[in-house]
Structure formats: structure tokens, C-alpha cells
Structure 1
Amino acid sequence: MDSTDQTLFFSPGSVLVAFLTVAFLIRQAWPRFVDLKFVKCQTNSAPVSSLSVSKEPEIPEGWLGDSGIFELERRAIFSQAWIYLAHNTQLTKPGMYQSFDIAGFPVFVIRGKDGEIRAFHNVCRHRAYTITRKETGASTVLGCRYHGWSYDTTGWLVKAPQFDQVPGFDKSQNSLFEIHTHTTKQGLILVNLNTEKPTNLDDEAVSTLDAFFQTSGWQQNSIWVAGQTVSGDFNWKSPMDISRLEAFATDLGNSLPRSSSLSTLKMALRRILKASPSTNHFHFPTAFFHHVIHTDFLIALSLFPTSAEKTNIRCDIFSSSPIAQKEREAISETLGSGLKRFNQEIEDEFQILSKRECNTLELKDQVTRETLRRVHEHRKLERTHGSKIHPAMRKPKGSNLFQQAEKLCKELDCMSGISQNSNSPDVLDW
């Protein structure tokens, strides 16, 4: 090979082509040597890329709206967290109850004849029909409208038509499924759906809760003023930003009537005696409390998911001072219009988020971090266990005699001409 040929072989163009070829081959082979997942998210406005060095993205695909993620949240969070439902002043008389849907678990709380507040799964032990059909009501005897089974305020089965004479049928084994309930010294009603002994309330959470209610003037005998529930088409986590919840509560609070001069003086003294009191408190996973400054009002806001893309927003307003009836009506109207606007804003935002290839939530949000932590821990536990773990799952006891009673009940349905597919409101629609 002469000098001319050597020059052509080592020309800059040849070296560049060789370099690009080697670079391309390395790029193609790189995934074989490194087992990393790359998360690429794109929005409708501009592409956004991010790399995750973990084998599993901290925020999984489908975080907002995926049914599989929602089912995991039901097991990891809503089946075993202490969830705020109501305040004891909303249940002032025996038989007063309030119904909720917690992530697909229908439950209700009720004040018994003995004054105790209890919570139960809102399903009849016979055919799982709803016991309390209204959101709020009052009755010392709760009857199932399917076959007439009736329960008292302690959940005890007091009446089972056509079953009393069935050999082996035991009423004591067919009471309503009771849920762990805890009422704080401020009157907050918390429930835990775990069928086993639930974990104790976190000491730090309890102390901060106590501190907040002490500085806000909340009392166990504070008055419930108004409350409403609206249903929205969005995932429960989409509005879970403390600043977002605070903005809604602040706007609503500014629409409420101002306190009297005496009440304002009491609040000023309370702020002086208590160092830098907070006006907000979040109780995981879905409850947000806001004290309206310069007033005796306190707002309780909760989000109860019913499915992956549907959520109920419940908002209650309380006062530590008496409220006239006309003021109550005005406050209720203000609350209703404010909730509708808030719900619409969240629905509109969720429509935008749901169109993204994957979400771009920031992990600096404390609520998001805690949700992810519990989801990941439960998923690891299930992987170790080798199957899904349902902390809230109930396994009703049933004997052969009870199965015979079930057969008898079905025969009675046929004899009376009742079908489960009937359009009658008294019949359970499966």
C-alpha cells in the first residue's frame, strides 16, 4: 500500500464514520448491560423527559385513574388507615346515623341508645343489601328492605322473618359487621376497616391534632352548622395538594359571616396565649381541617373515593358559638355553591391530567409521598406473601343449616313472585 492509499484510509471522513458506527453499536448494546427503567412523560403542551435510576418508578403508570392502582390503594390505605368520618355533634340523638362510601366500602356511623358511637359495614348479613339508604337519618331499628332483617343500634340482629324457626340458625352469629371506631377527645369520629387489631393512631399525628384543635377553639360540644356532599368525576389524589385545599377553605371561610366583637376578642386572646397557631391541619389520607381566622368557624373537608375516577367531596362547617337559623340557611347555601365550583375545577383539571401519557406529580408533596410509601410497602408485602392481602375482607361464618336457610329464602322469593331482576325498589339489584 503506497502513501496515497494510507492517506485515504486514515482520512478524517473515514475516522468520523468509524466513530459514529462504534457509538451506534454501543448505544444499541447498552440496555443489555444495564437493567434500568426509563420513564418518559409527555404532556399536550411540551415534551418532558425524566430518568429514574430505580428499577421501579416511584410514581407508577396509571397513578391517576388506573383501576389496578385504585384496588391496591384500597388494600394498602383505605383498608387499614384511621379515617375521619364525622364529628359527634352530627349525631346528637340515639339512632342518628350518617352513611359513607369509603373506596367502595359502604359504611355508616350511628349513636346507640347507650350513647356510644359505633360504625358498621352498611350491608345486611343475609344478602348484602344496604341497611341505611340515606346519607343521614335517624332510626333506632335499622331494617333491610329485602327480606325484613332488622338490627338495633348496636348492630344486633333482632328480627329475621322466616328464619327464627330454622334449626341451627343463631342470631348472635349474624349481627352487622362492626368496624373499629375511635372518638377523640375533641369529638372526631375515626374508623379503621382492618378486620384484625388495627395499628394505634400515630402519637405524633394525635399530638398535632390536639394542638390544632386547642388553638382553633374547637370543643367537643361545638355546633354542627351545615354540611353537604357532591360527587365528582376525578381521581381522589388529583386535588390532594395542601395549598389547593387551603385555598378552597380560605375562600369559603371568607364568605362566612364574621364573628361578634366578643368572639373576635376571644380569638385574639387565644392567639396570644398560643404561639403561632396553625389554621390548617391535614389528617391522612383524606381529611383537611381549616380554622377561619377571626371567627368561631371550623371547616372539615374530606374526599371519599368510590372508584378510580369518581370521588365524593364532603364538607362540614362547625362553630363554637350558637348560630341563628337564618344564618345556618345562608351558610348552607354558600357552602353548596362553593362546593360545586370546587368540584368543577377539579373535574376540569383531571380531564387535562388524564390525557397525559403519564403523570408528572412532584414528590415534594407530603400527601403524595405518604401515599406512595404505603402503596409500595403493601405491594412488597404482597409479593413476599405471594398473593393479594385484603385487610378489610370479611369472611362470614356459614353452616350447612344456614345454607339450607338460604335455600328456603330463595324458595320464598319464587313463591312470592319476587325476582332479583325486578325493578321494585324493595329488591336488591345485583
Structure 2
Amino acid sequence: MSMFKSYFGLGATEAPVYDSPPRLLPASWYSSKDTYELERRAVFSRKWLLTTHKLRFPKTGDWLKFNIAGYAFILVRDRDGNVNAFHNICRHRAFPVVTEDGGSARIFSCQYHGWSYGLNGKLAKAPHYQELDGFDKNQNGLFPIHVHVDTNGFVWLNLDADDKPANSWKRDFDGIDLKPRFDGFDFEEYDFDSGWESVGEYNWKTIADNYNENHQHHTDNAGPFTINTHGSIPQIAKALRNASNYYFPNAYMTVSPYAFFMQRFVPTGPTTTAVRYEIYRHKDTSDEDFEHTHEAYKLMVSEDESVYNETQKNISNRVSTDGELQPRNENSPIYFQSIVRDLVEQHEEIERQSQGEVWPARQRLPQEAAVSKDDMDFCSKLTEEGGGCCGGKACGAGPAPGPATAPEIMVS
């Protein structure tokens, strides 16, 4: 397995070979609304997304609200100890099931009309619907999202609405949680410490390109890391940088004996991104060691914030096009961009053959819902013929994007 597959968790078996310098993705890919919507369908609705760690859910009923690329969802620990995920959408009138950022609950009750759901997503109560013939509670639970909790307790999601996602976790990340770099780390010995977010006016790929250029990648024989917390903050930051791995499409993880850190680049629009952080502290770490490690990590992630904003300004000014890259020194951003390009082009071909947008995250209608299907087809036809009733976002084409700056507050 090559360093690329080890670093990204997927992809080619060998580093690409180029006869001439490869070029960046076009500037329009970093500012176009149409490209962003296509990435929502091609990337964030189909790939497995490293999201959090099960340590965030220590007790039955503990839940958190998340969002990514306009998709809002809930993660919750059920009575069997499983971590479940559901779209934050009531089945009745599409009001959010939860409006707070996190907490603990025995049941989820929508504040709009009182529909209630269990921690397993099943509909528990729908006021006044028990008197309607043909109403099936089993067909009206929360929309589920695929969850995989890996060997180390990290929680991955896939928004593909099929019973089995087109891309299995094994296909995308098989063995990524068994790398020698994790030897010696017991993730049960850590506790969630804190989290924060920063919001920037740049495309999510702008920050991903930079991180994949500046952070080193690991080979399979990389073992546990020794970090001297008594060195200078820049020295510790360099050690942490070397201990980091990227997980396509948008997550970064840094593991050390004192703490581990998760970082996600969460697109909120074509030119806006929220960078969200989670910090977990080892139970035996002294205050001094933890503070040194924490400060070094914050230094590491803050070094390039101005770069993202300034780069995006030039990308969006309609002057920049697609610069050339140096294959030897910029192999990681080249590889990242090649994955994005392949996924987008493959999905565009699927849509061309389907003669319309394909939203993998869109939930499937029951077979008996013929009237709803007719309504959706009617709206889609209007859209195709000239702009239509909703741009395809409220009917057949898929869900509308969430707020451009939707918060995701980390709850202790």
C-alpha cells in the first residue's frame, strides 16, 4: 500500500506519474454554486465521513446535532449502546426534530406538532393519526443514516439513502483503524475535553489543498509517536504535524500520548467553510503536558488561516485560472484534487445518463406513495423546462441547502 492510500485512507496504489506538471482544478471549482451542489451529491452524499468519537456519547440518550454541506443530522446513543444517526427532519412537516445543539433525552419530540421518536428512530407517537386508516407508524420513523464505529471508536457516517451504501466503509477505509501508528494507544483512556469552530470565507477545498501540502503523510510501518512536551511550542507543533493523517474528503486527525485532536472542514456554501475541532485528553496526562500539547496544536492549526482567505479572494476575482503543480513537492494536493475530480465527473456522467440530478441522500418513497411521486415528477418537469417552481430543491432533485453559517456547537 502506498503512502497515499495510507494518508488518505483510499485511492491509488502508487503515486501518479506525470509527463508534464499537472494543473490545479479550475478556479470556478472553488466558487461556483453549481459545482458546490454537484459536490454535495457526488462527494458528501456518497463517501464515508469521519465525524466524531463515541466518547461524546457516554450515557444512553446522549445526543449531538451536526451538519455538513447543508445536511443536518443527529447522533445519539440508544439503549443497546449503539450510536445511531438520523436526519434532523420530522417526518410530518419537515421541522427539525431537535433545535438545541446537544443533550440527553429518552425520546425525541418535534416541537411543531408533537410527533415523537425513540432513540432508535422509530415513530412512537403521532397525535390524531391513530384514527386514520392506513397510517403505518413503521413507515414514518426518522430518516436513518449509515453509521460505522471503527475499532478505535471513531464514528463514520454515510448519507447514501440505499439500504446498503454504494460505497461500503470497507471499500473506502478497510484497515485504516488497524494501522501500526495506532499501536499503544488505548482510546478508552481518553475523555472529551472541548471543541470549537472557526468560520472562514473560503471553499472547503482551499483549506484541504493547503493542509495536504503542509502536513506529512505516514507509511504503514509508522508506529506510536513520542512527543516531548518539554520542548518549545513550535517543536511540539512540528511533532504533532508529523503525527497527523488526512481522511478524505474533509477530516484530519492527530493522535498523541497526551491528547488526540479531530478537525473537520465543513462546507457551508460555495465560498464558506466552518472548521470544527474536537480535543480529547488522556486521563493520565498532567495539566502541564496537556496545556503544552493543546497550545502547540492551536499554533499548528492557526498558522495558515490568513492563507485560506487571501487565496480564496484571488480565486474568486475571475482572474486566476489553474496553476501548474510540482509533482514531487505537491503530490498530496495533486492526489486530493484528482479524487475530487474523479468523483464529480463520475457522478456527472451518472446524471447525464439519468437525464437529471441524482441525490443519493434523498430518502426513498414507499411504493404506495404514487401521488407524491406524481407531484415530484410534475415539479421536476417544470424545473427542466425553465427554472420551475423550486429549482429542484424542494421536490425531486433533493434537499435544499441548510443555512450558510449553520452553527455546530460542541457540548461537553
TM-score normalised by structure 1 residue count: 0.66
Amino acid at match of 1:296: Y
Shift of the alpha carbon at 1:343? 5.0
Amino acid corresponding to residue 349 of structure 1 in structure 2: T
Pairwise mapping of residues 251-270 of structure 1 onto structure 2 (< 5 A)?
Answer: 258=229
- The equivalent of 2:348 in structure 1 is 379
Change (3 A) 1:345 1:130: farther
TM-aligned CA deviation for residue 82 of structure 1: 0.5
Q: Write the distance in 2 (CA, Å) between the matches of 1:325 and 1:99.
A: 30
CA distance in 2, matches of 1:204, 1:123: 28
Give the AA of the match of 1:157.
Answer: L
Closer, same or farther in 2 for the Cα pair 1:134/1:210, shift >3 Å?
Answer: farther
What do the CA deviations read for 1:130-155 (whole angstroms, capped 9, x no partner)?
A: 11223332212112111111111111
Q: What SS is found at the alignment partner of 1:346? A: helix
Which residue type is aligned with residue 191 of structure 2? I
Q: Report the CA distance between 1:393 and its aligned residue.
A: 1.1
Q: Distance in 2 between matches of 1:325 and 1:91?
A: 24
Counterparts of 1:12-411 in structure 2 under 5 Å?
Answer: 59-60=25-26, 62-196=28-162, 197-198=164-165, 199-202=167-170, 205-211=173-179, 213-215=181-183, 217-241=185-209, 242-243=211-212, 246=215, 258=229, 279-292=243-256, 295-322=257-284, 343=305, 345-360=307-322, 364=331, 365=333, 366-397=335-366
Structure 2 residue matching 1:78: 3-state secondary structure = coil
Gaps of 5+ in 1: 1-51, 248-255, 260-270, 272-276, 404-428
1:101 maps to a residue whose letter is N
- Describe the shift of the 1:213–1:161 C-alpha distance in structure 2 as closer, same or farther (beyond 3 A): farther
| Deviation of 1:102 (Å) | 1.7
Q: Gaps spanning 5+ residues in structure 2: where?
A: 1-19, 217-226, 231-238, 326-330, 373-402, 404-412
Is the contact made by 1:226 and 1:328 (CA closer than 8 Å) also made in structure 2? no
Give CA-to-partner distance per residue, 1:84-112, whole Å, 9 cap, x none. 11100011111111222121111121111
Q: Provide the rounded CA distance (Å) in 1 between the counterparts of 2:100 and 2:291.
A: 21
Q: Which has the higher helix share?
A: 1
> Structure 1's 358 and 258: CA in aligned 2 closer, same or farther, altered over 3 A?
same
2:263·2:275 contact (CA, 8 Å) conserved in 1?
A: yes
- Indicate how the Cα distance of structure 1 residues 171 and 217 shifts in structure 2: closer, same or farther if over 3 A, else same: same
- Structure-2 change in CA distance of 1:232 and 1:192 (3 Å): same
Partner of 1:268: none
Residue in 1 aligned with 2:379? none
Q: Quick check: 2:51–2:156 contact (8 Å CA) kept in 1?
A: yes
* Cα deviation digits, residues 285-313 of structure 1 (max 9, x gap): 00111234xx4222111111122122221
Give the letter for the 2:252 counterpart: F
Q: Whole-Å Cα distance in 2 between the matches of residues 245 and 226 of structure 1?
A: 25
Aligned equivalents of 1:399, 1:326: Cα separation in 2: 63
**What amino acid does structure 2 have at the position aligned with 1:309?**
T
Q: Which amino acid aligns with 1:347?
A: N
- Mark the CA change 1:144 to 1:204 in structure 2 (over 3 Å): closer, same or farther: closer
How large is the Cα RMSD of the aligned pairs?
A: 3.8
User: Residue 162 of structure 1: SS of its match in structure 2?
Assistant: coil
Give TM-score, length-normalised by structure 2: 0.68
Provide, for residues 300-327 of structure 1, a one-character-per-residue CA deviation record: whole Å limited to 9, x for no partner: 1111112212222111112333457999
Distance 2:126 2:290 in 1: 42
Count of residues in correspondence between the two structures: 325
Partner of 1:182, secondary structure, is strand
Instruction: Give the Cα–Cα distance (whole angstroms) in 2 for the partners of residues 186 and 284 of structure 1.
Output: 18
Q: 2:98–2:108: 8 Å Cα contact kept in structure 1? A: yes
Determine the C-alpha separation between the residues in 2 that align with 1:69 and 1:240.
16
Question: Any idea what the Cα deviations from partners look like across 1:144-172, whole Å, max 9, x if unmatched?
Answer: 11111111111111122232323322222
Is the alpha carbon distance of 1:205 and 1:315 closer, same or farther for their aligned partners in structure 2, counting shifts above 3 Å?
A: same
Alpha carbons of structure 1 residues 216 and 79: separation in structure 2 relative to 1, 3 Å = farther
Inter-partner Cα distance in structure 1 for 2:350 and 2:314: 34
* Range with bigger deviation, 183-192 or 153-162: 153-162
